[in-house]
C-alpha cells in the first residue's frame, strides 16, 4: 500500500472522530419528540370516514361550520361535486378544485392532531410520493405544500389536488353558506376566498366573492359563459379570475380585483379547439410565483358534465416581462382563432397573433436573437417566432422535431438552434444562428456533430449503452480542434457516461466537443474548455471530462454538481431546466415504485426565482430530486434566500426574518 492510501484511511478515521456518534436511544427520542405521526395518505381512495373525520376536526378547530356534503359513501374517490381524485398518471385539475397554493393546513387540522392522524390512518389513505408529517398543530407536507400551484407536476398535481380537496372538504363549510365554484386568494389574508358566479339567462352577469370580510358582489354587468380559473395574471401576487366569453372559449378575459373593484383587463386570452373534433383547447395564462412572469401552456378538456379539466403541460419562465404569450385557437380567416388552426404565439404587447405553432409539446422558449426577449422555437412547424414579431423560417432544416435543442454555443448571448437531420446511417446536428430580422445562418458542415447508428454491443454488459460518434470542429472562434472520430456509451442502468475516442492531430484539451444523444430528454453538451459546463439541461448525469494524449474519458457526475456549475443568472437556461424538469415529471405515476428513499444515486435539479420584490425573502428555489434515471421524482423542497440582514443569504429551508 502506498503512503497516500494510508493517509486516506487516516483522513476517514479522523473525520469520523469529528462527528458525534449516533445511538439508537437518540433515534427513539427524535421519533417521539419530532414526529407525532406519519400519516399514509393516498389519492386513490377517499372514503366517507375521512370527510367525516375532517369535518369533525374542523368543528374542533374552527367552530361551527355548516356541513358540506362530502364524498360518496362508496369510497370511489368521487366527490359531491362530481369531480374525481385521480390516482396516478397525468392527473388534471377540475375547475372546481383550483389549487390553493400554500394551504394553511392548521386551518384544516385545528388543534386535534391526534384525531386527524387517527382518522386518516384508519381511512387507509396513502401517499405515494411522500408522507404528511403531523407535528404540533400542522401538517408539514414534504411535498404537498412545497410545489407551487403553477408548477404542478403530474404527481404533484395529484397530491395538491388531494390537499385541495382536503381543504375543499373542510373549508367549503362556507361561512357564506354555499359551495364555491372557485377557490382563490384575492386579498392575501391567508383565508381562502370563494367565488360564486351568478347567472342570468344562462350567462354569468355577476360574480360574488366570499372573503374573510364576508360576502359581497364585486362585479356587475358582466357577460360571460364560464369562470375558468383563478390565478395571478397581472403579477400583483393576488389571484385574478379568467372568464370565458363563449362556450368554445375563443375569448377569455381576465378580471382583476383591485381595491375591491373588478377591472376587466383589455388583454384577451384566446382559447379554442384545435380542429381535431375533440373539445380540447390550448390555453395560456401568465402565472406569477415569486415576481417573474411565467407562461403556462396546457390543454383544457371539456367534460360531458359541463365541467372542464385543465392539464398544464408546460411552464415557461419568460426572459423578460415583455415576452411571448401563446394563445390557443386556430389561424382562421379572421386570424383570431377558429376550429381548423393551431395554437399561436404573440408578443404580450401586441394583440395580433404572429405565429402558428402546431405542437406546443415540443416548443421551446429562449432568446435566439439576443435581444433579451424570449422567442418561441416551434420545431414541428420549422419556425422561430421572435419576440419582436418576426418569424424566422427553418422549415428547410426541420426533420425530427425531437432533435431540436437550444444552446449558446458561441457565448454571444443568443441561443443557437440545433437541429438534427437524419440521412443514411447518420444524424447530423447542425447549429443555426438567427438574427432579429429573421435571417437564418447555418453552421458549416464541418461544425456539425454527426451521430452514427448504434454500433454492435461490446464485450461487457455495460456496453448495452448506446454508441455514437461525434465530429465537432471549428465551432466558435476558439475551437480549432477537431475530433476526428470516436464513440461513447451511456449505461442507462446506473447513469454512468463514459466515452472514449481518438483525437485528431489538431486537437487540444481546450477543444469544444458537442454531442447530442438520440434521446431528446438526454440532450446534453459539454464545453470542457469553459469550466466543463453543460448548457442544456439533461437528466442523465453530465460528464466530467479528462483529456489524455490520445483519449478522452468522460465520467458522470451528479446533477447537483452539474447545476452548481451552471450560471443561474441566465433566464434562458433556467427555462430549459424547468422545462426538462416538467418533462421528466410527467413520467410520474408510470413508475411502479415511487416510495422510499432507496434509489439509485439521486439526481437533483432546481429552479430558482431571484430578485423578489420583498423586504424579507430575496429568492426562492424549488429543488427537485429525481432518481438517477430521471423516471421518479423523489421529492420537492422549497428553499429561501433572504435579503441582507434578514437571515441566511444562502438558500435554506429556514424562514427569513
Interacting residues of 335 by C-beta distance below 8 A, sequence separation 6+? 352, 353
Cβ proximity to another protein, 26 vs 122, nearer residue: 26
Sheet holding 193-200, edge to edge: 182-184, 193-200, 203-211, 214-219
Torsion sign (Cα): 649, 653, 654, 655: positive
150 interacts with another protein by CB under 8 A: no
Closest separation between CB of residue 125 and another protein, Å? Answer: 18
Mark residues 457-496: x for contact with another protein by CB under 8 A, - for none. Answer: ---xxx-------------------------------x-x
Q: Which is nearer to another protein, 8 or 444 (CB)?
A: 8
Among 203, 332, 602, 610, binds another protein (CB under 8 A): 602
Task: Let me know: does 467 contact 489? Beta carbons within 8 Å.
Answer: yes
Window of 52-60, 179-187, 521-529, 632-640 that interacts with another protein by CB under 8 A: 632-640
Residues paired with 201 in a beta bridge: none
Q: How far apart are CA 63 and CA 296, in angstroms?
A: 38
| Site track 539-578 with another protein (rule: CB under 8 A), x = hit | -----x-x--------xxxx-xx-xx--------------
**One residue of 2, 423, 424, 459 binding another protein per CB under 8 A:** 2
CB of 14 to another protein, least distance (A): 3
Q: Three cell numbers at 168? A: 375543499
Exposure string (b/e) for 455-494, b if CB count within 10 Å is 16 or more? eeeeeeebeebbbbbbbbbbbbeebebbbeebbbbbbbee
Regarding 33 and contact with another protein (CB under 8 A), the answer is no
14 binds another protein (CB under 8 A): yes
201 binding another protein? (CB under 8 A): no
User: In sequence order, what are the residues at sequence separation of 6 or more whose Cβ sits closer than 8 angstroms to the Cβ of residue 655?
Assistant: 640, 647
Shortest Å distance, C-beta 631 to another protein = 14
Whole-angstrom Cα distance, residue 293 to residue 321? 6
Helix (H, G, I), strand (E, B) or coil at 476: coil
Rounded Cα distance between 172 and 178, Å, is 8
Told to check if 304 binds another protein by CB under 8 A, we report no
Nearer to another protein, 216 or 551 (CB): 551
Residues 515-544 that bind another protein (CB under 8 A): 544
| Choices 11-19, 61-69, 200-208, 273-281 (CB under 8 A): range interacting with another protein | 11-19
| Residue 612 and residue 585 in contact, taking contact as beta carbons nearer than 8 Å | no
For residue 604, what are the β-bridge partners? 625
Q: How many angstroms separate the CA atoms of 433 and 417, rounded?
A: 7
| CB of 604 vs another protein, minimal distance in Å | 7
Residue number, 37 or 246, with CB nearest to another protein? 37
Looking at the Cβ atoms of 95 and 557, the one nearer to another protein is 557
Pick one of 88, 301, 616, 635: the residue that binds another protein (CB under 8 A). 635
Residue (of 448, 607, 642) closest to 537 by Cα position: 607
* Site pattern 638..657 for another protein (x: CB under 8 A): -------------x------
Binding site for another protein (CB under 8 A): 2-5, 7-16, 18-28, 30-31, 38, 460-462, 494, 496, 544, 546, 555-558, 560-561, 563-564, 596-602, 604, 606, 623, 625, 628, 634-635, 637, 651
Amino acid at each position: 500500500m502506498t503512503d497516500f492510501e494510508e493517509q486516506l484511511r487516516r483522513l476517514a478515521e479522523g473525520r469520523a472522530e469529528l462527528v458525534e456518534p449516533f445511538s439508537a436511544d437518540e433515534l427513539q427520542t427524535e421519533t417521539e419528540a419530532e414526529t407525532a405521526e406519519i400519516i399514509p395518505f393516498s389519492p386513490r381512495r377517499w372514503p366517507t370516514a375521512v370527510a367525516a373525520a375532517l369535518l369533525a376536526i374542523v368543528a374542533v378547530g374552527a367552530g361551527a361550520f355548516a356541513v358540506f356534503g362530502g364524498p360518496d359513501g362508496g369510497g370511489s374517490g368521487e366527490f359531491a361535486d362530481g369531480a374525481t381524485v385521480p390516482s396516478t398518471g397525468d392527473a388534471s385539475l377540475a375547475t372546481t378544485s383550483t389549487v390553493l397554493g400554500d394551504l394553511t393546513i392548521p386551518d384544516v387540522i385545528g388543534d386535534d392532531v391526534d384525531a386527524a392522524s387517527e382518522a386518516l390512518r384508519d381511512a387507509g389513505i396513502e401517499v405515494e410520493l411522500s408522507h404528511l408529517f403531523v407535528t404540533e398543530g400542522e401538517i408539514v407536507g414534504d411535498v404537498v405544500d412545497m410545489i407551487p400551484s403553477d408548477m404542478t407536476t403530474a404527481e404533484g398535481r395529484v397530491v395538491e389536488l388531494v390537499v385541495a380537496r382536503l381543504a375543499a372538504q373542510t373549508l367549503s363549510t362556507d361561512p357564506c353558506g354555499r359551495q364555491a365554484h372557485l377557490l382563490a386568494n384575492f386579498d392575501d389574508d391567508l383565508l381562502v376566498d370563494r367565488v360564486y358566479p351568478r347567472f342570468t339567462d344562462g350567462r354569468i352577469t355577476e360574480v360574488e366573492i366570499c372573503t374573510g370580510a364576508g360576502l359581497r358582489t364585486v362585479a356587475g354587468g358582466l357577460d360571460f359563459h364560464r369562470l375558468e380559473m383563478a390565478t395571478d395574471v397581472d403579477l400583483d401576487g393576488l389571484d385574478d379570475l379568467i372568464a370565458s366569453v363563449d362556450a368554445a372559449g375563443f375569448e377569455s378575459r381576465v378580471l382583476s380585483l383591485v381595491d375591491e373593484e373588478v377591472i376587466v383587463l383589455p388583454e384577451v386570452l384566446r382559447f379554442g379547439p384545435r380542429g381535431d373534433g375533440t373539445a380540447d383547447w390550448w390555453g395560456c395564462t401568465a402565472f406569477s410565483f415569486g415576481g417573474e412572469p411565467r407562461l403556462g401552456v396546457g390543454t383544457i378538456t371539456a367534460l360531458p358534465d359541463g365541467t372542464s379539466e385543465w392539464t398544464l403541460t408546460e411552464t415557461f419562465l419568460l426572459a423578460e416581462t415583455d415576452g411571448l404569450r401563446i394563445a390557443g385557437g386556430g389561424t382562421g380567416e379572421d386570424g383570431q382563432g377558429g376550429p381548423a388552426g393551431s395554437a399561436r404565439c404573440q408578443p404580450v404587447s401586441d394583440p395580433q397573433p404572429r405565429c402558428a405553432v402546431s405542437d406546443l409539446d415540443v416548443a421551446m422558449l429562449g432568446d435566439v436573437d439576443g435581444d433579451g426577449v424570449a422567442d418561441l422555437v416551434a420545431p414541428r412547424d420549422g419556425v422561430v417566432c421572435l419576440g419582436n414579431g418576426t418569424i424566422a423560417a427553418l422549415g428547410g432544416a426541420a426533420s425530427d422535431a425531437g432533435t431540436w435543442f437550444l444552446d449558446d454555443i458561441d457565448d454571444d448571448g443568443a441561443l443557437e438552434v440545433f437541429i438534427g437531420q437524419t440521412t443514411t446511417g447518420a444524424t447530423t446536428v447542425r447549429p443555426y444562428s438567427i438574427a432579429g430580422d429573421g435571417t437564418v445562418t447555418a453552421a458549416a458542415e464541418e461544425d456539425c456533430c454527426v451521430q452514427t447508428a448504434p454500433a454492435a454491443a461490446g464485450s461487457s454488459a455495460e456496453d448495452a449503452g448506446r454508441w455514437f460518434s461525434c465530429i465537432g470542429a471549428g465551432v466558435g472562434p476558439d475551437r480549432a480542434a477537431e475530433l476526428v472520430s470516436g464513440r461513447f456509451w451511456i449505461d442507462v442502468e446506473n447513469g454512468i457516461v463514459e466515452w472514449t475516442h481518438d483525437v485528431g492531430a489538431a486537437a487540444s484539451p481546450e477543444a469544444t466537443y458537442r454531442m447530442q444523444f438520440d434521446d431528446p430528454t438526454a440532450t446534453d453538451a459539454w464545453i470542457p474548455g469553459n469550466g466543463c459546463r453543460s448548457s442544456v439541461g439533461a437528466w442523465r448525469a453530465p460528464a466530467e471530462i479528462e483529456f489524455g494524449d490520445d483519449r478522452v474519458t468522460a465520467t458522470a457526475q451528479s446533477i447537483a454538481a452539474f447545476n452548481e456549475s451552471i450560471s443561474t443568472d441566465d433566464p434562458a437556461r433556467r427555462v430549459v431546466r424547468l422545462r426538462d424538469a416538467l418533462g421528466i415529471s410527467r413520467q410520474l405515476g408510470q413508475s411502479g415504485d415511487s416510495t422510499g428513499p432507496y434509489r439509485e444515486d439521486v439526481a437533483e435539479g432546481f429552479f430558482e426565482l431571484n430578485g423578489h420584490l420583498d423586504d424579507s425573502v430575496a429568492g426562492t428555489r424549488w429543488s427537485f430530486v429525481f432518481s438517477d434515471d430521471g423516471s421518479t421524482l423523489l421529492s420537492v423542497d422549497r428553499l429561501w434566500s433572504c435579503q441582507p440582514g434578514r437571515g441566511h443569504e444562502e438558500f435554506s429551508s429556514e424562514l427569513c426574518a
